Amino acid sequence: MFDETAGPQEGAADLRGETLISDVWYVAALSRDVPRGQARRIDICGGLLDVTRDRSSRLSATFDGQPARLSESEDLIWYFHPGAAGPDPLAASAPRRLGGPKAKVRYCAEVIIPAHQDDAAYGLLDPAHTPFVHKSPLWRGSGILKEKTKHFEPNDFGFTMVPHAPVNSDIYNLIGGKIGVRIEFRLPGLRAEYIQNRKHTVLGLTALTPVDTRHTRLRQIFYWDSPVLSLIRPVVPLAAKPFLQQDVEIMRLRRENEPYGGKGMLLGDSDRQFIWYMQIKREWQAARQAGREFRNTLAPTTLRWRT
């Protein structure tokens, strides 16, 4: 949690929250992970989720031996992790549709990050994360810093970076044409990046799913309808796997620092997205405990930083 007494612009950051977010849908598996007539056991949210698909392709599940609720859409299997506060409006509905092209997962890579869900979310929301943590010729590194101005609006369960022209990476040029990018973040830990031109759409979904309070499964999931990306699909793992291992390594280093009491600082616009995440998470938990409707109190905002 950040220190609210320090004012809205800065604070000390202890990113390892005490609780996981409940009464929400988590990505539990890809549809292809549980073929017809088979079962799979998944470590999730501090327990064991046993998923079975019968010969008619119907899914059923138990969580630590108790009936569990699943939903399947867009090539993903979602698990609803209940809390102690009883039914809520989101529990009555299926997970929000992502709008991935043709609802077909084209590629997925995953790793287990040695970090709490909140700490993993910080990696998604820190603007400096990609240029300073990830090293690849496919995207710009930290050697060239640029001024950024991004406009944000609240959405139903988080916030959206409104459509803009990309400036960071040559990888966008693979799609061709005039590109626009829209990025949405929603609880419990879903970052959806929509890359579009007049003809094609690519959806890059980063989904955080807690294994327990010390480990988080990070899935990088791609949907696309671009023939060029289908053509280069066999070489995608060459970039994706090292990318995710760099996430694992930086979180390992953070964990090594824990015994020394090191705390990060949340400062200004560059950390505002993570501050919003914690604010929305606390509001969701407070609403659940009070039995009232969740209210996203964020307002349209322009943020500026240099990365």
On whether residue 88 sits in a domain, the answer given is no
Based on the structure, what is the number of domains in the chain?
2
The candidate with the shortest Cα–Cα distance to 20, out of 89, 79, 76, is: 79
Residue 162: phi and psi, rounded to 5, are -65, 160
Structural domain of residue 34, as residue ranges?
24-81
Is residue 39 domain-shared with residue 118, that is, in the same domain?
A: no
How far apart CA 106 and CA 189 sit, in angstroms, is: 21
Is residue 67 domain-shared with residue 161, that is, in the same domain?
A: no
Is residue 31 domain-shared with residue 175, that is, in the same domain?
A: no
Is residue 77 domain-shared with residue 192, that is, in the same domain?
A: no
Is residue 43 domain-shared with residue 14, that is, in the same domain?
A: no
Contact call for residues 29 and 40 (beta carbons, < 8 A): yes
Is residue 137 domain-shared with residue 279, that is, in the same domain?
A: yes
Rg (CA), the chain: 19
- pLDDT the model gives residue 130: 60
User: Which residues, at least 6 apart from 259, have a Cβ–Cβ distance to it below 8 Å?
Assistant: none
On whether residue 255 sits in a domain, the answer given is yes
The candidate with the shortest Cα–Cα distance to 99, out of 205, 174, 13, is: 205
On whether residue 155 sits in a domain, the answer given is yes
**DSSP letter (8 states) at residue 32:** G
How far apart CA 96 and CA 86 sit, in angstroms, is: 20
Is residue 154 domain-shared with residue 11, that is, in the same domain?
A: yes
Question: H-type helices in the chain, by residue range?
Answer: 117-125, 129-133, 227-232, 236-257, 272-290
On whether residue 86 sits in a domain, the answer given is no
List, for the chain, all residue ranges whose pLDDT scores fall below the cut of 50: 1-17
Is residue 29 domain-shared with residue 47, that is, in the same domain?
A: yes
Report CA dihedral (99, 101, 105, 107) to the nearest 10 degrees. -120
Is residue 144 domain-shared with residue 265, that is, in the same domain?
A: yes
Q: Angle at the Cα of 122 (from 200 to 267), degrees rounded to 5?
A: 115
How crowded is the C-beta side of 32, counted as CA atoms within 13 Å? Answer: 6
- pLDDT the model gives residue 270: 80
Q: Which helix (H) or strand (E) holds 294?
A: none
On whether residue 30 sits in a domain, the answer given is yes
On whether residue 208 sits in a domain, the answer given is yes
Residue 46: phi and psi, rounded to 5, are 80, 10
Q: Identify the CATH number of the domain in which residue 281 sits.
A: 3.30.530.20
- pLDDT the model gives residue 162: 92
What single letter denotes the amino acid at residue 51? Answer: V
- pLDDT the model gives residue 16: 43
Task: Give counts: helices (H), strands (E), the chain.
Answer: 5, 17
On whether residue 93 sits in a domain, the answer given is no
The candidate with the shortest Cα–Cα distance to 225, out of 104, 99, 73, 101, is: 101
- pLDDT the model gives residue 170: 57
Q: Identify the CATH number of the domain in which residue 73 sits.
A: 2.20.25.680
Tens of pLDDT, residues 122-153:
888 877 656 555 565 555 555 567 788 999 99
Strands (E), 132-267: 147-155, 158-164, 180-186, 190-196, 201-212, 215-224, 264-267
- pLDDT the model gives residue 233: 79
- Structure-block tokens of residue 137: 């010729």
Contact call for residues 58 and 71 (beta carbons, < 8 A): no
Measured distance between the N- and C-terminal CA atoms of the chain, rounded to whole angstroms: 24
Contact call for residues 134 and 243 (beta carbons, < 8 A): yes
- pLDDT the model gives residue 141: 52
On whether residue 134 sits in a domain, the answer given is yes
